Amino acid sequence: MNKLLITLLLAFSSMMCHATQLDSVFTIQGSKGKLVCRVQLPEHKAGKKLPIAILCHGLHGQQNDALIAEIAKNTLNEGIGVVRLDLNGHGKSDGDFVDMDATNIQQDMRCLIDWTLKQPYTKNISLTGHSLGGIVVGMVAHEYNKYVKGLVLIASGGVAPDLMLMGNFFGIKFDPWNVPEYIELKNGKHLGHNYIVTMRDLPIYPTAKKYTGPALILNGTHDNVVPYTYAQHYADVMKNAELRLIEGDNHMFSVSFTQTALDIAHWLKSKQGK
């Protein structure tokens, strides 16, 4: 009996010696300088390849936003690694907010995807983005159709081109055809000329349509930033999309915060675990 117990303990000890976790902050080169990123891997056997979820925050946000962090926590609990970043001009990454635009933030995401695909532990990837981050991942996903097992668009900002065409960015008015050097937002930040012009003409839906894998589209019915009709349009044009409208919820999903993050993690597991 004692020999059996000792054998089991030694086997368990050996297994633990070969199990590993990772939580590391690092930088990569982005469109406007260094991007501050973070990789987290759940406990796994050394040398084993893992599915990796890449997460992207929204305008004015950063990689540790509450919703992004909650999704990350639940995704790790599902045995999926997580990689996230601060877009240029946001958080701790290089670049000035005024110089950030729809073109260079897509390039930032490509840089992170390319980095992730090169890592020895990467089995496959998914892309998840909130608001502006949804625009970003939705527009680059098709370039990685071979690798992306799932795409999650959370209140993705399909409304943005319409706001720019109207010359009214949440109460800040401007001439959309004679765009100033910048407009000053209510938080004091400057939204630059190039952001307005590139977003005004951005082919969000035709580009997202090119992604052929499974997609999960979420929006609150009481979202006063991105009305849920824009989520419906994503679902209409994308080949393999599942639409979930969350009754009574807002742009930050404060009503269903915990459940939404959990549901996203479960959905990613169902797609990346195959």
- Using N-to-C axis directions, what is the helix angle for 102-118 and 132-140, rounded to 10°? 60
**pLDDT one-digit tens code per residue, 176-202:** 999 999 999 999 999 999 999 999 999
**pLDDT one-digit tens code per residue, 109-143:** 999 999 999 999 999 999 999 999 999 999 999 99
CB 191 within 8 A of CB 100: no
pTM: 0.92
| Residue 11: count of CB within 10 angstroms of its CB | 10
Instruction: Quote the strand ranges of the chain, DSSP E.
Output: 19-30, 33-45, 50-56, 81-85, 122-130, 148-154, 168-169, 172-173, 182-184, 190-192, 215-220, 241-246
Burial class of residue 140 (count of CB atoms within 10 Å of its CB; 0-12, 13-18, 19+) = buried
pLDDT exceeds 70 at position 91: yes
